[in-house]
Structure 1
Amino acid sequence: MTKILFTGGGTAGHIFPIIAVVRELRKMGSDAQFFYAGPKDDFGEIILSQESIKIKWILAGKIRRYLNWKSVLENIADVLFKIPLGFLQAIFYVFISAPDLIFSKGGYGSLATVLAGQILQVPIILHESDVTPGLANRFMSKFTSQIFVAFPVAQTEYFSEDKMIAVGNPMRVELLNGDAEKAKDYFDLIVGKPIILVLGGSQGAQAVNDLMLAILPQLLTDFEIIHQTGSKNLEQLKAEAKVMVVDEELARRYHPVGFLKEVELRDAFKVCDLVVSRAGSGSIFEISGCQKPSILIPLSSSAQDHQLKNAYAYAQNKAAVVMEEANLTPRFFLEKIKYLFANPDELQKMSQRAKEFSKPGSAKIIAQYIIKYLTK
């Protein structure tokens, strides 16, 4: 039986594209066994297990390029212990599982598995989500037979042009089939006001949460809000919102939730009129696939400013508005939202440009390549 080993960093940005590819492979009739090797992550364990993907946790270290005493000590510990031990774990696991192919979603968490695959002569393909690849992906690209990239931006200074194909970021196509009526029932939406969907990533985003709280009463006067806060932030945010919004009618228009499961996110995308989100590649391609206008707030501390670069690459076609954290005030944010809804033609154009940018078939293209590669 064919065996395919997936690897990545363990976060939602790595896990969901892998799941999208696995689902497409199964739709095509693949009877392959699917494995995942990467750094331990509770969220990843739940999601991967639901897809019947066998999991092996691998220790993963990284080199931090910001300098302080803590980072220096962490770097020493990772170089002396985590990285060597993780590599030994990966060698053993790749040898025992004997995969026919390794698919790497990239990131430092996949480095040990990719190196093990190279040593044991397992074919490797790589997917790069961001406009500017990280150091780990640049290094791993030397060992790959094919490199898929998300953004149609020239990356030949990082990757070999003859290996590279721009396909978009693999997304779960199930998100395209939302049901607005189910969203109204699930979130207990009042309806009648424009609906804003706020996404802070799978773990939430404190800066986005704080921004929403600062203008919540004003927002709820004109809009209804579905807000993914991050599970660890939910109860505190509910308590703070209760203090901020004393009017019961306004309070009914605010719908905070810790984490949106796939079916909930699917329906929330369908019913909303605008998305406010971080600028991870996965989020951008899901927003564009669902043809929604968006305001993107890139994570200011992301490695190599990859979210900022992703956001501006996407916004070039005017499908989104980018608002940088460094210059973002609650008042400016509120004014931008009101401006967009005061100009419905602008929102409609943003939706159309999101549709033009979208690549909902990315996972299918990658799955087709994998099947063709394994059967040649």
Structure 2
Amino acid sequence: MAEKKVLIAVGGTGGHIYPALGLANQLSQIEPRPSILLVGGALSKNPFLKEAAFPYQEISCGTISLRKPTSIPSNITKILKGVRQSYRLIQEFTPSLVVGFGSYHSLPTLLAAKWTKTPFVLHEQNSYPGRVNRFLSKYAAFTGICFPSAKSKLKGSCHEVDMPLREGYGFGVMKPQEAKRYFGLDSNDPVVLVFGGSQGARRINQLFQEGVERNNFQNVQLLHFTGDADYTRSLSKHYQTYDIRACVKNFEERMELAWAAADFVVSRAGAGTIAEQIEFEVPGLLIPYPYAMDNHQEFNADYMVLTVGGGVKHLERELTPQKLLQEIVEVFEGGKLLEMKQKLREYKLSKKRDDFCALISDLLAKKER
């Protein structure tokens, strides 16, 4: 029996990297275990891969933007170089299957897969698909989608699938009281989790810094990940000044414990965040990152609000510090929090999705026959 090999094409933000690592972990637990290699642009400098348990190979990549026409020739050269590198890698690694997780970092490898007639599968995390997946979906064996609305923007076969979460991420991974104590918070009082993801933390930090007042939160505690050491210092001091109980950190490796501790979340609307929000049944106030490609975070937030019923959406340009804090206070004072929690649970229990890893495993098994 020939060894099965899976090449995972990925790069960019945590929204792409984390589900790719989630799939890699899931594939490593099936029998027979396939060999796994990650490939993509700028992986050696990617902060989300610093402790990855899987080998990776970096290639050249580039993004073509009509807003920056003078950069197009050099980026085309980078893409072509990445295609050549990926072609050689495919010849050497001989993958049974390539799995692409979107972003321009994966484009050269997926083009090389098409060139070498190596079958590939795509995973689209967002409600509005990215350009790479829109372009290549008609050539894929299938595209796994996390939002039903993505199907109309893609060509070829689509399966509604789960978001591969990081290892250990699951509802009930730790009791909320224990998770709160892990962060040095009171185990009995509610916690608001605050973070902005890998791109959009700055404005969220500013909103909290500008709007926090002594009597706004009462018994509510904050678990705030700023993404920036300067903001961590200033916000820690700010919260202390107003007697607000808070755990403030630059970044948190054990985000599954943060989700377990949280009663409510204020965050961006990346697909990974929303998938984890649903898994841990944490209602939220979503602030779509306004500079996301194709404005996909706003579409993601609309799905959470209108279809799932597990959150509220506010556009950054319309959100003031006062409005943000008023929304948080109203959630905890009325029955809105419990209502949204129930909506999240109902959605999670009723939504039947295909297991993305199982579909990959079936495809590998078919190639063996």
Same fold flag (TM > 0.5): yes
Q: Equivalent residue for 1:205?
A: 201
Residue in structure 2 matching 1:235, options 230, 238, 263: 230
Q: Equivalent residue for 2:101?
A: 105
Deviations 1:266-290 (A, max 9, x none): 1221121101111000000100110
In the alignment, the residues of structure 2 paired with residue 226 and residue 269 of structure 1 have an alpha-carbon distance, to the nearest angstrom, of 10
Indicate the RMSD between aligned Cα atoms, in angstroms: 2.4
Deviation at 1:152, TM superposition (A): 2.0
Q: 1:260 to 1:207 in 2, by over 3 A?
A: same
Q: Equivalent residue for 1:289?
A: 279
Could you tell me which amino acid in structure 1 is paired with residue 192 of structure 2? I
Asked whether 1:165 is paired with 2:159, we answer yes
Q: Equivalent residue for 1:115?
A: 111
Unmatched 5+ stretches in structure 1: none
Query: Which region of structure 1 is more displaced relative to structure 2, 180-189 or 90-99?
Result: 180-189
Q: Equivalent residue for 1:39?
A: 41
Runs of 4+ in 1 over 6 A off after TM superposition: 359-364
Residue in structure 2 matching 1:254, options 232, 235, 246: 246
Asked whether 1:348 is paired with 2:338, we answer yes
Asked whether the 8 Å contact 1:171–1:363 carries over to 2, the reply is no
Q: Equivalent residue for 2:174?
A: 178
Query: Which region of structure 1 is more displaced relative to structure 2, 172-181 or 107-116?
Result: 172-181
In the alignment, the residues of structure 1 paired with residue 329 and residue 247 of structure 2 have an alpha-carbon distance, to the nearest angstrom, of 20
Asked whether 1:339 is paired with 2:342, we answer no
Q: 1:282 to 1:359 in 2, by over 3 A?
A: farther
Asked whether 1:72 is paired with 2:74, we answer no
Could you tell me which amino acid in structure 1 is paired with residue 162 of structure 2? G
In the alignment, the residues of structure 2 paired with residue 168 and residue 366 of structure 1 have an alpha-carbon distance, to the nearest angstrom, of 6
Query: Which region of structure 1 is more displaced relative to structure 2, 233-242 or 207-216?
Result: 233-242
Q: Equivalent residue for 1:25?
A: 27
Q: 1:171 to 1:43 in 2, by over 3 A?
A: farther
Deviations 1:336-358 (A, max 9, x none): 111111113x2112112222334
In the alignment, the residues of structure 2 paired with residue 47 and residue 358 of structure 1 have an alpha-carbon distance, to the nearest angstrom, of 29
Deviation at 1:142, TM superposition (A): 2.2
Deviation at 1:49, TM superposition (A): 4.8
Q: Equivalent residue for 2:264?
A: 274
TM-score, normalized by length of structure 2? Answer: 0.90
Deviation at 1:37, TM superposition (A): 0.7
Residue in structure 1 matching 2:17, options 11, 15, 18: 15
Asked whether 1:315 is paired with 2:270, we answer no
In the alignment, the residues of structure 1 paired with residue 50 and residue 20 of structure 2 have an alpha-carbon distance, to the nearest angstrom, of 9
In the alignment, the residues of structure 1 paired with residue 7 and residue 350 of structure 2 have an alpha-carbon distance, to the nearest angstrom, of 23
1:174 aligned counterpart, secondary structure: coil
Deviations 1:244-300 (A, max 9, x none): 7425xx15x121111111xx3112211211011110000001001101111111001
Residue in structure 1 matching 2:83, options 81, 87, 103: 87
Asked whether the 8 Å contact 1:151–1:166 carries over to 2, the reply is yes
Could you tell me which amino acid in structure 2 is paired with residue 258 of structure 1? N
Q: Equivalent residue for 2:59?
A: 58
Asked whether the 8 Å contact 1:211–1:330 carries over to 2, the reply is yes
Asked whether 1:153 is paired with 2:143, we answer no
In the alignment, the residues of structure 2 paired with residue 370 and residue 48 of structure 1 have an alpha-carbon distance, to the nearest angstrom, of 26
Query: Which region of structure 1 is more displaced relative to structure 2, 202-211 or 97-106?
Result: 202-211
Asked whether 1:3 is paired with 2:38, we answer no
Query: Which region of structure 1 is more displaced relative to structure 2, 32-41 or 189-198?
Result: 189-198
In the alignment, the residues of structure 2 paired with residue 30 and residue 227 of structure 1 have an alpha-carbon distance, to the nearest angstrom, of 42
TM-score, normalized by length of structure 1? Answer: 0.88
Deviations 1:166-194 (A, max 9, x none): 11322236222134344333311134532
Q: Equivalent residue for 2:347?
A: 357
In the alignment, the residues of structure 1 paired with residue 38 and residue 352 of structure 2 have an alpha-carbon distance, to the nearest angstrom, of 20
Q: Equivalent residue for 2:360?
A: 370
Deviations 1:137-180 (A, max 9, x none): 111112211111010226234323xx111113222362221343
In the alignment, the residues of structure 2 paired with residue 50 and residue 362 of structure 1 have an alpha-carbon distance, to the nearest angstrom, of 30
- How many percent identity over aligned positions? 28
Asked whether the 8 Å contact 1:170–1:361 carries over to 2, the reply is no
In the alignment, the residues of structure 2 paired with residue 297 and residue 157 of structure 1 have an alpha-carbon distance, to the nearest angstrom, of 24
Asked whether the 8 Å contact 1:20–1:173 carries over to 2, the reply is yes
Deviation at 1:96, TM superposition (A): 1.3
Asked whether the 8 Å contact 2:10–2:17 carries over to 1, the reply is yes
Q: 1:208 to 1:370 in 2, by over 3 A?
A: same
Q: 1:237 to 1:275 in 2, by over 3 A?
A: same
Q: 1:45 to 1:320 in 2, by over 3 A?
A: closer
Asked whether the 8 Å contact 1:60–1:82 carries over to 2, the reply is yes
Deviations 1:193-230 (A, max 9, x none): 32100121135611111111112334554421011111
In the alignment, the residues of structure 1 paired with residue 133 and residue 280 of structure 2 have an alpha-carbon distance, to the nearest angstrom, of 28
1:34 aligned counterpart, secondary structure: strand
